[in-house]
Structure 1
Amino acid sequence: MSILTKYILKKYLLNFIIVLISLELFFVGIDFLQNFKKLPDSANLQLLYVLYNGFFTLTLALPLSIVFGWIVTLVIFIKNNELVAFNALGSRSKDIYAPVVKISLFLITLLILMQATPLAYSYEQKRKILHNEYFTSTKTDIFLKYNNNYVYFKKLYPLEKKAEGIYIYKIENSDIIQSIVAKNAYFQNNKWYVVDAKVMNKPSNLKLDTAKLEIKYEKFLNTLEGFKPKILDNVYEAKSNFSILDAVSALILLTNQEINTDKIRGALYNQVIVSFFVIPILLLIFAYASLNSRFFNIGKFTSISIFGTLIIWGIFFMLFKFTNGGILIPEISILVPFILWIVGSLVFYKKKINS
């Protein structure tokens, strides 16, 4: 690593950390003050609320801090004529912005990996604390299709990994051939175990003299292999989020069931792809910066850079909400605009650098 790279990274990371902490304290502090009266009296739950809210805010604040930290760094370099010094020493443009782009890619990748963990459910957890539901997570009247089975859960407890009031109907050629009724089921070893089940098999031959309904009782039955309680919970909950791993599992399962997966694909694209929208912004900001502060309006440059970043971020956020609401399919609302943004940014960057 060259001395120039170390110097740029030292300055940039310092500004990035200051901006990130400032945004985190601002958003988390405002939210805490707004909801303080609604929070439980328990200090532990209040601390958990702040921690969950801190990570949820991090998914919004980190991409913005990457850009804002770069803006602050460039402004300092311009005011101190450091960019002129870098060029006088023979440094190319790539030598200046490349370290920042690389560390930004690392930070975004780290954020994506964190969203593959249970921390991805931070917003849901903080909402439960706010509504005194942290220790009681229950969903009722869930009806879903799994392979050739239609399953009804009267109550689902995602955290306890159990369900009550289970009805399972096996379908063959548009006809019910078997029904399973039980009071309880538990999720273990990647399967649902139905306890004390009543199994009724309808005869395939419905002749009056030979046909009879077969009824038997089973101590344990397993079904819905791989269908995790959290996936059931999130598919059922219209506004719930997914971790990346759960989203991939849900996408595979629901695709096999021929169920609409727009919401899950949109969540995956938003978590894995959209955060990289900041990389072209870093290049554009550098391209439109000036080496010399003498004839350069730093105030205008800073204002436009910040305002433009917020507009681009707001557009992608709005498109994700459209997808989550079922208005547009994710490929059109997220992937196509993202590709257009990347291509357009590179065109403007090369045009400005070459001029």
Structure 2
Amino acid sequence: MRMFRYISRLYLKHFVIIAFALAFFFAGLDYMQHAAKLSSFNIKVLYLFYKGSHALNLLFPIALVLSMIVSKMVLIRSNALVSFYALGYSRKAVLRPFFLISFLLTLFYVGIHFTSFVNAEISAKQLLEGKKSHSVTHNIFVKYNDSFIYISEIIPSRKLAKKIRIYRILPDRELEIIYGPSAVFDGKGWVVEQARVVRKPNARKLGGKGLVIVKKPRVRTLEGFKPKILTSVFEGVRAYAIQDAFEAMRLLEKEHLQSKKVKAVLYHMIVTPFFAVFLVVIFFLAIPPHARSTNLTWTSFALVGITLFVWGIFYLLYRISLSGVVMPEFGILVPVALLGLAAIHSYIFRTNR
């Protein structure tokens, strides 16, 4: 148990140092390029924070692998690793804290993608361009269930739509049109304020039913039509939270629309980060337990290079899947699964020697 606590503290210490060093190095370089465009001290601090969060989002899995490499090199150089083996600890026992900590941190990393953490890059860009904190989307025309909706202007952060028109064909083949200067999303559906409901009969004949126009202070409609999903899906935005990606995929599949892009984003947030856990297992077992049989400097350099190369390959496959060239299942799920099989193979054969 003492060995587990010792290695866990060592691994966590190096992870915190490496993760925040990489994030703020990335953010600092970007800040030096754009500092002149930022107006005030508060804006500059916010910009650094958002850029640092975005960098951490990109580099978190890499930091997990690099901190394991550094931690094991420290154990080797201090002869602590050989001492653990001499005391009777197996490779499996020494690997366990690295695996468990990296796995739990990866779960935490996936979990924060349920929050607005994913929007850090968008927020930084808005600060740089001097825009307001809420984005505005113009002229959206979409189909939802049996309705066709036109929205002149939508503000997702305020759950507000301006100049909305909803066209729907009723069961008796009457056309119903709902006009409204504004509509608000109340969490379940849209409430159109000062609505004008127009019903136009299908058949036109002498003495038949004519055009019906009714004014209502409020009309509730479009249940489940979420504003954030609306703008993300139909503008091609990639900064989804996980729950938004699930809702967007459900909406697209329900309307029989292409959902490859949303699937790619979802798989990239949930599945891709686990490549770091698999690399931790493979690299730990590949590094010899003492410095006599290998050059630790060159070994560290090679493993860092391989880590960056693998991360680059996964990011490239994600962008290819995002463009629709390959199916997200083949571009993201299959490579991660193959790396997982390689980690299992390495664990079985290297720990049973």
What TM-score do you get using the length of structure 2 for normalisation?
0.93
Within the alignment, does 1:100 sit opposite 2:98 as a pair? yes
Shift of 1:263: 1.9
Question: d(CA) in 1 for partners of 2:308 and 2:69?
Answer: 13
Shift of 1:320: 1.4
Question: d(CA) in 2 for partners of 1:310 and 1:341?
Answer: 15
Q: Deviations over 1:269-320 (max 9, x none)?
A: 1111111111111111111111221121212211221111111111111111
Aligned residue type for 2:167: Y
Gaps in structure 1 of 5+ consecutive residues: none
Question: d(CA) in 2 for partners of 1:7 and 1:332?
Answer: 40
What TM-score do you get using the length of structure 1 for normalisation?
0.93
Give the fraction of aligned pairs with identical amino acids, expressed as a percent. 32
Taking the TM superposition and a 5 Å limit, the aligned residue runs for 1:228-239 are 228-239=226-237
Which residue in 2 is equivalent to 1:53? 51
Which residue in 2 is equivalent to 1:18? 17
Question: d(CA) in 2 for partners of 1:131 and 1:167?
Answer: 31
Shift of 1:99: 0.7
1:176 to 1:128, Cα distance in 2 relative to 1, 3 A = farther
State whether residues 113 and 242 of structure 2, in contact with CA within 8 Å, keep that contact through their aligned partners in structure 1: yes
Task: Look up the SS of the partner of 1:165 in the other structure.
Answer: strand
State whether residues 92 and 351 of structure 2, in contact with CA within 8 Å, keep that contact through their aligned partners in structure 1: no
Shift of 1:208: 4.2
Which residue in 2 is equivalent to 1:320? 318
Which residue in 2 is equivalent to 1:244? 242
Within the alignment, does 1:194 sit opposite 2:197 as a pair? no
Query: Paired residue for 1:139, among 134, 137, 140?
Result: 137
Taking the TM superposition and a 5 Å limit, the aligned residue runs for 1:108-257 are 108-171=106-169, 177-257=175-255
State whether residues 141 and 154 of structure 1, in contact with CA within 8 Å, keep that contact through their aligned partners in structure 2: yes
State whether residues 317 and 331 of structure 2, in contact with CA within 8 Å, keep that contact through their aligned partners in structure 1: yes
State whether residues 149 and 171 of structure 1, in contact with CA within 8 Å, keep that contact through their aligned partners in structure 2: yes
Question: d(CA) in 1 for partners of 2:95 and 2:213?
Answer: 72
Which residue in 1 is equivalent to 2:63? 65
State whether residues 182 and 197 of structure 1, in contact with CA within 8 Å, keep that contact through their aligned partners in structure 2: yes
Q: Deviations over 1:309-348 (max 9, x none)?
A: 1111111111111222232232221112211221133224
1:307 to 1:246, Cα distance in 2 relative to 1, 3 A = same
Aligned residue type for 1:63: P
Aligned residue type for 2:261: K
Question: d(CA) in 2 for partners of 1:28 and 1:87?
Answer: 41
State whether residues 116 and 243 of structure 1, in contact with CA within 8 Å, keep that contact through their aligned partners in structure 2: yes
Query: Paired residue for 1:295, among 293, 296, 301?
Result: 293
Aligned residue type for 1:187: F
**Displaced runs of 4 or more, over 3 A:** 204-209, 348-355
Q: Deviations over 1:102-129 (max 9, x none)?
A: 1111111112221111222111111111
State whether residues 125 and 134 of structure 1, in contact with CA within 8 Å, keep that contact through their aligned partners in structure 2: no
Question: d(CA) in 2 for partners of 1:113 and 1:208?
Answer: 64
Q: Judge which range, 140-149 or 211-220, deviates more.
A: 211-220
Q: Give the paired residue count.
A: 353
Task: Look up the SS of the partner of 1:31 in the other structure.
Answer: helix
Gaps in structure 2 of 5+ consecutive residues: none
